[in-house]
Chains A and B, each alone.
Chain A
C-alpha cells in the first residue's frame, strides 16, 4: 500500500473528531493509546506513593505518615502498579500490536474493547477513593492490610475496604473482558496463512496471558466477595468461631496471585522475543520450544500458589509438593532465558535502547528468579518470609521482569506508533540512569531482609538504617529518571526524525512481521483487506 493510498483512505475513514473519538472509540489503536496513557499516569501515581514509602523509611522513627496511612499507601502502591501500570500497559500493547501482527482489521469485539478500557479509570477512581475515604471521620479504619487483603485484618478495616473490594470487581471485569477479546482475536482474526506457529512470540505470550486471566480473575472476585459477606452479612468463611479459616482466603488470593505474576511477566517475555532477534539480526532461537515453555509455565503456574503461605501451617506433604512444584518452574523459565541468550549467540548485535533493556532484563530477571528459587525452599522461606528479602525478590521480578520489558516495548514500538524516532542518546541515558538507580534501590533490600527487617513496617530499629538510607536515595534517583522517560515520550510524539515503515534493520528476521509492512504511524484501520503472509 502506498502512502498516497493511505492518505486517501484516511480522508474517508479517518478518526472521528473531538472527545468522542476517544470516549466512544471502537478503534484498537485509539484504545491501545488510551491504555498506554492510563498506565503512564498510574506509573507516576503509584511511583509517587513509593516515594512517600521510601521517604518514610529513610530514617527510623515516624516522620511523614502515621502507621495506618503508611500501610494504606503500600496497599495502593501495589495495586496501582500491578493493576494500573503493568496490566494496562501490556493490554495497551496488545491492542496496538496484535491486530497488526496477525493481519486483522481490528480487535474481534471492538465495543467490548472500549468497555474493558473505560472500566479502568472507574476502578482507578474507586481505588484512590478507597485510600482517601479513611481520612473522613466516621468511615472507620484505613485499608492497612497490604495488597493481599488478608482477613481478619481486612475485616477490621472501614469503608475503604468495601471500596477496594468493588475496585477489584471492576478490575476483574475489565481484565476478563479484555482477555476474552484478545484470546478471541488471536484465535479467530488471523489473516489467511497466519498459522498459529507463525504468530510473533508476543501474540503467543498474550494468548497464554489472556487464558490465565480468564481462569484466575473469577477466583479473586469470588474471594473478595466472600470477604464482603464476612464483613457485612454475617457469614463465617474466614472466622474460626463459625467453622471458617482465615487461611482459606489466602488460598483463594494466591490461586489468583501466583499466576498473576506470570500474567505480569509473559507480555514482557513476548516483547523480548521480538526485540532480541531484531537486534541480533538472527531468528529467535527455538521459537516452537519457547511456545511450549510458555504453555508449561501456564500449567505449572496454576498449581504452585501456596509457596506464598509456607508459614500458615500446611502438612508436610502439602509443603513438599508446593516446594517441588515451585522449584521446577526454573526449568521452563530457565529455558526461556537460554533461548534468549542463544538468540544473541553468534548474532550480529547492536545496542539500541530496547536491546539494552532486553539484556539488562535477562540478567536482572535471572537474578530475581534465583532468589525466587531460594524462597521456594520451605525451611529457608520460614526465615525469609515477610521480610525485605521477599520485597527485593519481587521488585527484581516486577521491575525488570515486567516494567522494563514494557519500557523496552515502548522504545521498540514508539517509532511505529508515532511515526518519529525517539532520541537514541536520551534513551540510552535513561536506560543507564534507571537501571543503576533501580539496583541501588533494591539490591540492599536483600541484605536488610536477611538481617531481619520485616515488610509492611512503617518504622524500624536502627540496625537497619544504613541499608534503608541507600535504598531510599536510590529510589529517589530511580523516581527522577522517570521524568526523563516522560520527556522522551512527549518529545517523540511531538516530532523528531521521521520513522520509516521498518525502522529496525532486523525487525523481520524469522517472523512475517506484518506490522512492519504498514506505514509509521499506521493508518486508522490497519488491514482493510487481509495481507499476504510470506
Chain B
C-alpha cells in the first residue's frame, strides 16, 4: 500500500476521534445546556434533530467518498468509466438527489415552524420585565411593580470559578410563571441571553423586542451579553435567580420598600453634607460609572476620559452637571437624567469633584440638579 493510500483515511479518523472524544468528555459542556423552560426545551429538541440529520448526512457523504477513494483508484488499475452519466443513476440522480434533499429540508422547516410559532406567541404574561442594556450593565425594571435593579459585573480573579459570570444584583424571577421580557438598549446593540431559560433577541436602542419564558426549576442561571457592544462586551454577565413564588413576592416587597425610601430621600428638601454626598456618590459611581471611567477615575486613554484631574470634573459645575444629565450624543457617555434621580446625580458629581485628588471641595445639592434640568 502506498502512502497516499493510507492517508486519506486519516482525516476521517481525526474527525471521528473528535466526535468520540466529545462523548467521552461529556462533563465539559459540549452541547446546549439542559433547558429549564418549555420553549428552550423545544428549541433543544429541534437542535438535536438538526444535529442528528447533519450527522447522518456527513456519515453518508464521508461514506460514499471514502468508498470511491478506495474502490476507484488508478493504482489498483481501475479504468475510468466514460459513460457513467448514461447509467441508471447518472440519469435519475438528478431527480433523486434534489427530492431527498428537499424532503429533509421540508421536514426540518416543518418542525421548526411549530416552535417558531411558540417563540412569537406574545400572549399575556404574569410578570413583565423590561431589560435595558447599557454599556456595560443591565437594568431590570419590573413593569407592574415599579421595581428597578441595576446589575453590574462582579470583579473576580481569572482563576475564580465564577470569573466573568457573577453580578452584584441578579434578576430575581418566580418559577412557574409566564415572564415576558421587553428588550431595549440605551446606547448600542446588546443581546440578553440566558441559554437555559431564554433564547436571545437583540436590545436595540429606540426599539423594543420581546421574548418570554416560563422557568420550570428553581436555581441560578447564567448568561452573558451576546452582541458586540464595544470595550466591555466580555464583561456583561447575566445572572437569573429563579425562586419560588413566595420568595419572589417577598423580594419584590422588600425592593419596593427600599425604593420608596430612596425616592422619598431624593425628593426631600434636605440639604446634604459633603461627606454624606461623597459616600452616596461613591456607591452610585461604582454601580454606574466604573465600567468606563474606572475605579481610579483615570478612564481608559483615548476611549474614556479621565475624571481624575479632568477638565470638566475640576472645571465649572455647570458643565459637569450638563454632561452627566444630558450625556454627549455620538459617544458612549449616556444621558443619566432618566436613569438616576436628582440625589444620585448630585451625589455622584460631588463625589467626582472630591475624589482622586480632585479636591475642589464643592458640593452639589439635589436642588442644583433640579435647576440644571
Residues of chain A touching chain B, judged by Cβ–Cβ distance below 8 Å, are 59-61, 66-68, 71, 134-135, 137-142, 144-146, 150, 152-153, 155-156, 158, 231, 239-241, 245-247, 280-283, 285-286, 289, 311-313, 316, 319-320, 323-324, 327-328, 330-331, 334-335, 337-338, 341-342, 344-351, 356, 359-360, 362-363, 366-367, 370-371, 373-374, 377-380, 382-383, 385-387, 428, 432, 435-436, 439-440, 443-444, 447, 450-452, 454-463, 466-467
Can you list 11 A-B contacts (CB < 8 A)?
Answer: A61-B158, A139-B302, A152-B188, A153-B230, A313-B204, A320-B116, A363-B61, A439-B14, A443-B18, A451-B31, A456-B233
Interfacial chain A residues near B205, Cβ < 8 Å: 152, 240, 246
Partner of B112, one of A138, A345, A378: A378
> Which interface residue of A142, A155, A286, A334 has the most chain B CB atoms within 10 A?
A334
Among residues of A, the one whose C-beta sits closest to the C-beta of B64 is A341
Partner of B119, one of A331, A351, A371, A382: A382
Q: Given A153-B228, A156-B332, A316-B116, are A385 and B200 also a contact pair (CB < 8 Å)?
A: yes
Q: Given A156-B332, A462-B159, are A387 and B226 also a contact pair (CB < 8 Å)?
A: yes
Q: Given A313-B204, A386-B200, are A461 and B109 also a contact pair (CB < 8 Å)?
A: no
Partner of B228, one of A150, A344, A382: A150
A451 touches B28 (CB 8 A): yes
Q: How far is the CA of A214 from the CA of B8 in the complex (A)?
A: 39
Among residues of A, the one whose C-beta sits closest to the C-beta of B184 is A240
A351 touches B84 (CB 8 A): no
Task: Give B273-312 interface residues, CB cut-off 8 Å to A.
Answer: 300-303
Residue B361 interfacial (CB < 8 Å): no
Interfacial chain A residues near B224, Cβ < 8 Å: 452, 454
Q: How far is the CA of A283 from the CA of B332 in the complex (A)?
A: 60
Task: Give B79-135 interface residues, CB cut-off 8 Å to A.
Answer: 79-82, 84-85, 89-90, 93-94, 97-98, 101-102, 104-105, 108-109, 112-113, 115-120
Lowest 4 CB-CB distances: which A-B pairs, in order?
Answer: A240-B206, A61-B158, A382-B199, A451-B29
Interfacial chain B residues near A334, Cβ < 8 Å: 97-98, 101
Q: Given A320-B113, A447-B30, A454-B225, are A345 and B230 also a contact pair (CB < 8 Å)?
A: no
Q: How far is the CA of A66 from the CA of B302 in the complex (A)?
A: 12
Partner of B8, one of A152, A338, A356: A356
B230 touches A366 (CB 8 A): no
For this complex, into which size category does the number of interface residues on chain B fall? 35 or more
Residue B201 interfacial (CB < 8 Å): yes
Can you name 7 extra interface pairs (CB under 8 A) apart from A320-B113, A374-B50? Answer: A59-B158, A312-B204, A313-B204, A330-B104, A359-B8, A373-B50, A454-B225
Residue B259 interfacial (CB < 8 Å): no
How far apart are B320's CB and chain A's nearest CB, in angstroms? 22
Among residues of B, the one whose C-beta sits closest to the C-beta of A365 is B61
Q: How far is the CA of A156 from the CA of B81 in the complex (A)?
A: 62
Q: How many A-B residue pairs have CB under 8 A?
A: 323
Partner of B78, one of A137, A139, A335, A348: A348
How far apart are B87's CB and chain A's nearest CB, in angstroms? 9
Q: Given A363-B65, A386-B226, are A247 and B112 also a contact pair (CB < 8 Å)?
A: no
Residue B219 interfacial (CB < 8 Å): no
Among residues of A, the one whose C-beta sits closest to the C-beta of B56 is A370
Q: Given A68-B303, A327-B108, A451-B33, are A379 and B65 also a contact pair (CB < 8 Å)?
A: no
B50 touches A380 (CB 8 A): yes
How far apart are B276's CB and chain A's nearest CB, in angstroms? 35
B46 touches A432 (CB 8 A): no
Residue B164 interfacial (CB < 8 Å): yes
B163 touches A461 (CB 8 A): yes
A282 touches B108 (CB 8 A): no
Q: How far is the CA of A166 from the CA of B304 in the complex (A)?
A: 26
B10 touches A451 (CB 8 A): no
Interfacial chain B residues near A373, Cβ < 8 Å: 50, 54, 105, 108
B159 touches A439 (CB 8 A): no
Q: Given A282-B84, A313-B209, are A359 and B65 also a contact pair (CB < 8 Å)?
A: yes
Residue B269 interfacial (CB < 8 Å): no
Task: Give B173-209 interface residues, CB cut-off 8 Å to A.
Answer: 187-189, 191, 193, 195, 199-202, 204-207, 209
Q: Given A331-B102, A335-B97, are A383 and B61 also a contact pair (CB < 8 Å)?
A: no
Interfacial chain B residues near A463, Cβ < 8 Å: 28-29, 165
Q: How far is the CA of A251 from the CA of B76 in the complex (A)?
A: 54
Among residues of B, the one whose C-beta sits closest to the C-beta of A140 is B302
How far apart are A475's CB and chain B's nearest CB, in angstroms? 16
Q: How far is the CA of A436 from the CA of B12 in the complex (A)?
A: 10
A462 touches B228 (CB 8 A): no
How far apart are A254's CB and chain B's nearest CB, in angstroms? 14
Binds A, one of B67-75, B143-151, B248-256: B67-75
Among residues of A, the one whose C-beta sits closest to the C-beta of B62 is A363
Interfacial chain B residues near A455, Cβ < 8 Å: 228
Interfacial chain B residues near A313, Cβ < 8 Å: 201-202, 204, 207, 209-210
Interfacial chain A residues near B61, Cβ < 8 Å: 337, 341, 362-363, 366
Q: How far is the CA of A282 from the CA of B83 in the complex (A)?
A: 9
Interfacial chain A residues near B74, Cβ < 8 Å: 281, 348-350
A435 touches B98 (CB 8 A): no
B53 touches A370 (CB 8 A): yes
Residue B229 interfacial (CB < 8 Å): yes
Q: How far is the CA of A362 from the CA of B63 in the complex (A)?
A: 12
B93 touches A338 (CB 8 A): yes
B72 touches A348 (CB 8 A): yes
How far apart are A32's CB and chain B's nearest CB, in angstroms? 30
Q: How far is the CA of A146 from the CA of B74 in the complex (A)?
A: 48
Among residues of A, the one whose C-beta sits closest to the C-beta of B158 is A61
Q: How far is the CA of A347 from the CA of B80 in the complex (A)?
A: 4
Interfacial chain A residues near B216, Cβ < 8 Å: none
A153 touches B229 (CB 8 A): yes
B204 touches A286 (CB 8 A): no
Q: Given A344-B72, A349-B69, A363-B11, are A379 and B231 also a contact pair (CB < 8 Å)?
A: no
Interfacial chain A residues near B28, Cβ < 8 Å: 447, 451, 463, 466-467
B116 touches A439 (CB 8 A): no
A345 touches B54 (CB 8 A): no
Q: How far is the CA of A349 from the CA of B74 in the complex (A)?
A: 5
A-facing mask of B320-359, CB < 8 A → 1, else 0?
Answer: 0000000000111000000000000000000000000000
Q: Given A134-B302, A362-B65, are A241 and B206 also a contact pair (CB < 8 Å)?
A: yes
Partner of A450, one of B29, B117, B119, B159: B29
A282 touches B82 (CB 8 A): yes
Q: How far is the CA of A328 from the CA of B105 in the complex (A)?
A: 7
Q: How far is the CA of A387 from the CA of B86 in the complex (A)?
A: 46
Among residues of A, the one whose C-beta sits closest to the C-beta of B115 is A379
